[in-house]
Every structure is written in structure tokens, then in C-alpha cells.
Amino acid sequence: MVSGRVGCALSRINQAERQQLFIDILKGVSRSFYLTLRVLPNSVREPIGLAYLLARAADTLADTTVLPNDKRLNYLHCFKSYISNPNAAGGCDVIQTALQGTLENQDESRLLELLPQLFALFASQPEADKNLIRQVVNTLTDGMVFDLQTFPPEESGEIKALQQATELDHYTYMVAGCVGEFWTEISIAHNKALSHWDAEKQTGLGVQFGKGLQMTNILRDLPRDLRIGRCYLPQAWLNQHQLSVEQLLDKSNSSKAMPLLQQGVVVAEQHFAAAEQYVLAIPRRCIRLRLAALWPLLIGLATLEKLSASEDWLDTETTIKVERRWVYRMMLKSILLVCSNSALSRWIKTTKGH
């Protein structure tokens, strides 16, 4: 029974295990988010990091191709039942057993091994934080379920596109916009300096921030997503540019597909305009919160610029991303400029390439 294992984990989870989860494991499954987490204030570092690790564990279940779609869906629903009640019985052992020895990524494998500790830590959170974590992880898991139910199995050789822009917008909310919502709500709850914020307005901006980041990911990852049967750019857009999903599989059509790319870039930039408002609204004295929001915004904008300049967008062999050296230089520069709204605005404008 999982309830016994979770209860046992609750009694023995200690600082060393927390460190393993939030440093060793998290660094292994996401270097970029690890950097953001490290700069966050202590007050929000654990709930945000915990939400990320829970979502990452669910994502590992959703993405593993060693299990058929129906089993992955079953385990995701089981995972959601644990999020609803971390002390519930049954399921966790089954998930671990099903994937034992099958994952090539050792950090992901270790994350699943630590599921009892992860759920124990979740169960020990203050009720208000637990509710916010539950809401965001459930929504993110719904996005994973949407993927598995909407698109054909990876091995089928079939490709399906979303149909309308509204469907794309809803999807970007489920898999990223909800994170901006959670980030805002947890930050307000733990930081008195944000008590003056218009919570509804800032939450809306946070949602758009997340959507902009996900739209950037969709554009960057399109060639690889197509090869597992998924086209997140809607058929309505393809029709506007007289393109088919099959044509997007041919890298020689990169030039022909550029108007489609630019349409996506415009949507992402509109979301990032809201993200800029979000960053500049964070009080200057909240330096860590500002940096944690500024870094993904600048990386997202720089990635869009690289995508716009690429001549091989549809080539799976071309990796479009900002260089690590650029990221480190950006982080250093941000420390110098983070307290100046005018300097940040100029920098953001320059990063856009305008």
C-alpha cells in the first residue's frame, strides 16, 4: 500500500533528502530551471521547486515510449489521484515497477524512485501552498493527457495538427500559462512587498508570460514534434499559407514555411510584451524575483530572434537555441541592470532585434 510508504517517507524526510531533490535531481532533469530556482527567494523556492519536480515526474510518465498510450494515460490519472490526496492508497508502487530499468535518463529514473519522498514532501506543505501546487500540477497533467488523447501514438507514422488557434491557446495555457498563474499566486502569498499588486492583472500577465515561453518552445521543437506525430501549429494557420503537415517534414520547405513561422513569432512576441510588463511590475527591491522572471524572458526573446533568422527551421539536425556563453553573460549583465526599469526596457527592446 502506498499510504504506508508515503507515511514512512514523511517520518524520515530530512534536509539531506531535500537537498538531493532540489539540487542533485532537479539539476539533472533541468539545468535551466535549476538556475532560476537557485536565484528565487527562500520563501518560494521549495513550493515552486516541488511543483516542478512533481510535474517533471508526470511528464516522464507521459513521454516514455516503452509503454502504450493507454497505460500512460492510466498512470497519469493515477498520478492525479495522488495529487488530490497524497496519502491515498495504491498506485505509486505500480508506477515505479512499470518503469523500473526502462529509462535511459538516470536522473529521470532516480526521480521516479523518489516518488514516495516527493509525495511526502508535498503532503507536508502548508495547506494554502498545497492547494496552489495541486492546482498547477493537475493542470499540467491535463496538458499531458491532452497530448496522448489528441495525437496518434509515436510509432504509428501518422501526424495530426491542432485545428484552430483557440485550441493552441488553450493548450499553451495547460502546459505553461498555468505556471505563470501559479508563480504569481505563490509569490504574492509569500512576499509582503507584492501586497500592493493588482493580483488579477498580474496573474493575467503571468499567464501570458507562460504562453509566450511555450509558444517559443513549440516553434523551436516543431521539426522533432512532427516526427512523433504532433503538430501544435493549427491547421487553420497551415491553410492560410497553403501548407500541409507533410510538407513541414521536408526541410527544403523551410523558406516556404517562413510566413508560418513568423505568424507564430508574432503570437509569442505579443505574449512577451505582457511578460515585460510583468517583470517591470516586480518591486525593485525584490531583486531575486526580478531576476527569476527576467532570465526566461530574455532567453525566450533571443530564441525567437534566432528562429526568425534561421534558414533551416524545418531541419531536425539544426538545433536553434541560445549559446550557454550568451546565457552566462546575460545573467551577469542582469545583476547590474535589474533595478532599473528604463535599462531593462532598452535591453529587452534590443533583444527583440528591433
Residue 2 has pLDDT above 70, yes or no: no
Q: What is the pLDDT of residue 247?
A: 96
Q: What is the pLDDT of residue 212?
A: 98
Q: What is the pLDDT of residue 265?
A: 97
Q: What is the pLDDT of residue 32?
A: 80
Over the chain, what is the mean pLDDT? 90
Q: What is the pLDDT of residues 97-133, one digit of tens each?
A: 777 777 777 888 888 888 888 888 898 899 999 999 9
Domain ranges of the chain: 1-150, 180-354
Q: What class, spelled out in words, does domain 1-150 have in CATH?
A: mainly alpha
* Confidence tier at 9 by pLDDT (50, 70, 90): very low
Q: What is the pLDDT of residues 48-95, one digit of tens each?
A: 999 999 999 999 889 888 888 998 999 899 888 888 887 664 446 777
Q: Do domains 1-150 and 180-354 have the same CATH topology?
A: yes
**The CATH number of the domain covering residues in 180-354:** 1.10.600.10
Residue 253 has pLDDT above 70, yes or no: yes
Q: Is 184 in contact with 202 (CB distance < 8 Å)?
A: yes
Q: What is the pLDDT of residues 258-269, one digit of tens each?
A: 999 999 999 999
Residue 208 has pLDDT above 90, yes or no: yes
Can you tell me the mean pLDDT for 146-152?
96
Q: What is the pLDDT of residue 205?
A: 98
Residue 246 has pLDDT above 50, yes or no: yes
Q: What is the pLDDT of residues 337-350, one digit of tens each?
A: 999 999 999 999 99
Q: What is the pLDDT of residue 6?
A: 42
User: Closest by alpha carbon to 273, among 345, 196, 333?
Assistant: 345
Residue 8 has pLDDT above 60, yes or no: no
What residue has cell string 498580474? 202
pTM value? 0.92
Alpha helices in the chain (DSSP H): 2-12, 15-19, 26-29, 31-39, 42-63, 69-84, 92-99, 106-113, 115-123, 127-150, 165-172, 178-190, 199-226, 235-240, 258-281, 287-309, 324-337, 341-352
Residue 134 has pLDDT above 70, yes or no: yes
In percent, the amount of the chain with pLDDT more than 70 equals: 93
- Of 81-90, 138-147, 247-256, 336-345, the range with the lowest mean pLDDT is 81-90
Q: Is 220 in contact with 185 (CB distance < 8 Å)?
A: no
